[in-house]
Amino acid sequence: PPAPLSLAADGDRSHEAGSSPQSLTLRALSGDGAVGEARLRLELLDAPRSAYCTCGEATTGADGTFSIEWGAAEAGAMTLRVEAEADGHAPAVGRFALTVTGAGSEAPSATIWIPPSMLEGHEYEGVVVAAEARAQGARILLTSGDPESLEVDREAIIHPGDNHAIFGLRALLAGADPVGVFASISGPLVSAESRIYSQNSVPSRLEVVMASNSTISDEVTAYVFALDANGAPARVASETGVRLEVAGSLEAPAGAVIPEGGFHARLAVRVNGDGLLHAHATGLEAAGQAITKERRDVELRIGVAPEHAGEDGHATYTVWLEEGGRPHSRHGVLAGQVHTDSTRVAGFLPASPENSESAALGLRGGVASGTVYTREAGEATITATVPDVGTATARVLVGAAYSANVAAQGEDAAADSGGLEPAPGECSAAPSGAEVDGMRAWVHPSLTSGPATLTVAQYHDSAAHGACAAAIDAREGTGDDEGTGEDCPERDGVPECHAVRHPMEADGRRVSLSVSPPGVDYDASVELLHGSLRSFAASFGVLARDVGNYTLAATATNVGTALANFSAAPPSQPGHSLRVVPLRVAPGGGMQDVALVSVAGPGGALVGAREAFGRPVEATVAGAGIPERTLRISGDSAVLRADLGASTRVTATAPGLGRGTAEIAIPGVVAGVDLALPQSVHLHEEF
């Protein structure tokens, strides 16, 4: 069947008697797109004798619009009736109430009230209240803005001694536009409007409802509902195909089907970015919905301490989340994995390199840590991966290492392990009688809103000599002219050699800790003890009491001080919450979808349960007429189904997510009343 036309009017529908003509723009519309040229027939109904209008037959422009001028020399009310036809569309008739007020700024002589909403086929009452006492009474003329839709008594009588009159109204025909009733004793007209609804539920338009218009999740659940003129769900008489169109960065099926006797279709929408979803169906007004993709720049970080460890020992890896320069915290456990690219050098099992190339990762509160077991000398890259977040890498050196760039002999040429490379085998043994002569320190997470760990390791640094120096010279293309490595080359009389660093095993040395500025809780001292595995480091627990940047200093007798910096900041995400989104519900519909239960971020954007917590969320849901039950939210939303006989409030709760509530309204079920009284009355007046 052809798509129906609809009519709209833009401009002021009120005009002061005797003033310049008023302009009114008429628009011919269609739910399936632009109408183009439409043929119009315009006339004024119930108009005063002095009324004028550029009415008659006309044709709209290509944009479907046409402007008229109208007015009158005397106060009164009239109706503009418009008939519209366009090729390929069903014709339409529109009625628009026009009011001509008295000249000047005379105050209204009365006020009028009618029920703001009425049901087609029912009778109602309205009231007119005089602004001042009428000792002789008064006859009030009443006019309906659309007599075919709303019939009103022709007059109301204010009896002597009263200041109000009650009149009758008969709602004849439902419509999408409000209908006006006009009244006047003397002076300017007064008016009130009412919307007339139908009890017959006939589909007239579509509506698109999503779990949220803002999402972090990559997918959202959407519904396309068939609604009647009252905005209530309307069951379709036969299977109805819905054509879906997307704009922007959305992906959706090309179509959906509302089954015979049903009133909605459900679908999943892939959200790659901002976009629009449009739904079209033959004979029904189209609908659309916009959705915004919120982007959270959450980054994964990893640190290994010590970064430079001894053979057959161990180190600690720490993985954490950051967002916008702050720690990023999440409820529950966020699953991931850590992986090593060389089990010969480092792995995640202590006994054997077999089956130790990876380990499961579980971030609680945005942080996780575990043990890396070192084996042979060399270097390995430790990679952390968390789905939907990203990857991060850290390097761990095992055994002797040397600085790639030569430095003056006796200086700490390899203070930063980032400038170290695995040393040749000729350098594996520390010089005879070597003692601890330096320490290094690390804090992980280096950006935290909670506890962190300071790791301190001890080393011996020396200049490369002999076979060790020759092997390094051969690798780097440096050294003396002979390439023997026996002597360090000189520059300006100062010998320059490659520095070699050896991790030194724990020897019971006590390390003391201090911090600047104050504001960090920590263990005052700890011993570097030898355990079941070869140990090259010791760890302190630290906790900042205030936000800020801190420097920790670890000091040991005859060794010196190692410094490590870290920052404390509030988390970027204080938490998630539950959201309940009510759906359109039909009365007496049996078991049906009544609400969507979702997880929302702090800004209200939809968050996938697995993305937020690495696992489904179980929510307890209950309400009047809805026995308590558990819903499992594994994607963007879970659907609550129920058989409701009355409107109800639904409540959903989940540990750590608080409570979400929503009112589910059922059309046709009494949910409230309207009460109206005259604004003013006389003493002893019955009303």
pLDDT tens-digit readout, 462-508: 888 888 888 888 887 765 433 444 456 655 555 567 889 999 887 88
pLDDT at 33 over 70: no
Q: How confident is the model at residue 560 (pLDDT cuts 50, 70, 90)?
A: confident
Measured CA distances, 575 to 142, 215, 599, 601, 613 (Å): 60, 16, 10, 7, 11
User: Of all residues in the chain, what percent carry a pLDDT higher than 90?
Assistant: 34
Q: What's the average model confidence in pLDDT over 175-189?
A: 80
CATH number of the structural domain spanning residue 142: 2.60.40.2310
In this structure, the answer to whether residues 564 and 609 fall within a common structural domain is no
Q: Has residue 217 been placed in a domain?
A: yes
Q: What's the average model confidence in pLDDT over 176-184?
A: 86
CA distance 447 to 298: 13
What pLDDT, on the 0 to 100 scale, is given for residue 337?
94
Q: How confident is the model at residue 509 (pLDDT cuts 50, 70, 90)?
A: confident
Domain boundary among 265, 295, 325: 295
In this structure, the answer to whether residues 356 and 280 fall within a common structural domain is no
243-247, 433-437, 609-613: least confident range: 609-613
pLDDT at 93 over 50: yes
Contact predicate 194/179, CB 8 Å = yes
Burial of 434 (0-12, 13-18, 19+ CB in 10 A): middle
pLDDT at 294 over 50: yes
Q: Has residue 209 been placed in a domain?
A: yes
pLDDT at 407 over 70: no
What is the three-class DSSP state of 347?
strand
Tokens standing for residue 617: 């969320």
User: Of all residues in the chain, what percent carry a pLDDT higher than 70?
Assistant: 87
pLDDT at 610 over 90: no
Mean per-residue pLDDT over the chain, rounded: 84
CA distance 546 to 343: 40
In this structure, the answer to whether residues 547 and 639 fall within a common structural domain is no
Contact predicate 606/216, CB 8 Å = yes
**Structural domain boundaries, residue 222:** 200-295
In this structure, the answer to whether residues 354 and 401 fall within a common structural domain is yes
Q: What's the average model confidence in pLDDT over 384-392?
A: 89
What pLDDT, on the 0 to 100 scale, is given for residue 409?
41
What pLDDT, on the 0 to 100 scale, is given for residue 481?
38
pLDDT at 671 over 50: yes
**Could you tell me which residues are beta bridge partners of residue 269?**
220
In this structure, the answer to whether residues 579 and 563 fall within a common structural domain is no
Burial of 260 (0-12, 13-18, 19+ CB in 10 A): exposed
In this structure, the answer to whether residues 56 and 24 fall within a common structural domain is yes
Q: What's the average model confidence in pLDDT over 574-587?
A: 84
pLDDT at 414 over 50: no
What pLDDT, on the 0 to 100 scale, is given for residue 174?
84
Higher per-residue pLDDT: 74 or 195: 195
What's the number of domains the chain is made of?
5
What pLDDT, on the 0 to 100 scale, is given for residue 441?
92
Which of these, 557, 552, 556, 555, lies nearest to 542 by C-alpha position?
Answer: 552
Per-residue pLDDT tens over the stretch 136-156:
778 888 999 899 999 999 989
Q: Has residue 116 been placed in a domain?
A: yes
Q: How confident is the model at residue 263 (pLDDT cuts 50, 70, 90)?
A: very high
Q: What's the average model confidence in pLDDT over 81-85?
A: 89
pLDDT at 170 over 90: yes
Write the secondary structure of 492-545 as one string of H (helix), E (strand) and C (coil).
CCEEEECEEEEECCCCCCEEEEEEECCCEEECCEEECCCCCCCCCEEEEEEEEC
What pLDDT, on the 0 to 100 scale, is given for residue 533?
46
Q: Are strands 560-568 and 447-448 parallel, antiparallel or unpaired?
A: parallel
Q: How confident is the model at residue 408 (pLDDT cuts 50, 70, 90)?
A: very low
Which of these, 492, 488, 557, lies nearest to 528 by C-alpha position?
Answer: 557
In this structure, the answer to whether residues 500 and 354 fall within a common structural domain is yes
Tokens standing for residue 539: 């760890």
CATH number of the structural domain spanning residue 278: 2.60.40.10
CA distance 428 to 412: 19
Q: What's the average model confidence in pLDDT over 342-356?
A: 82
What pLDDT, on the 0 to 100 scale, is given for residue 484?
41
Contact predicate 249/291, CB 8 Å = no
65-74, 80-89, 183-192, 650-659: least confident range: 183-192
Q: Has residue 687 been placed in a domain?
A: no
What pLDDT, on the 0 to 100 scale, is given for residue 488?
61
Q: Has residue 676 been placed in a domain?
A: yes
Q: Which helix (H) or strand (E) holds 547?
A: none
Domain boundary among 101, 134, 158: 101
> Which of 37-41, 105-109, 349-353, 508-512 has the highest mean predicted lDDT (pLDDT)?
37-41
Q: Has residue 142 been placed in a domain?
A: yes
Residue 675: phi, psi to the nearest 5?
Answer: -125, 130
CA distance 655 to 60: 61
What pLDDT, on the 0 to 100 scale, is given for residue 485?
44
In this structure, the answer to whether residues 219 and 141 fall within a common structural domain is no
Burial of 544 (0-12, 13-18, 19+ CB in 10 A): buried
Q: Has residue 407 been placed in a domain?
A: yes
Q: Has residue 554 been placed in a domain?
A: yes
pLDDT at 94 over 90: no
What pLDDT, on the 0 to 100 scale, is given for residue 236?
92
What pLDDT, on the 0 to 100 scale, is given for residue 201?
75
What pLDDT, on the 0 to 100 scale, is given for residue 447?
92
pLDDT at 234 over 50: yes
In this structure, the answer to whether residues 191 and 211 fall within a common structural domain is no
In this structure, the answer to whether residues 502 and 585 fall within a common structural domain is no
In this structure, the answer to whether residues 562 and 427 fall within a common structural domain is yes
Domain boundary among 266, 295, 324: 295
In this structure, the answer to whether residues 481 and 411 fall within a common structural domain is yes
Name the pTM for this structure.
0.54
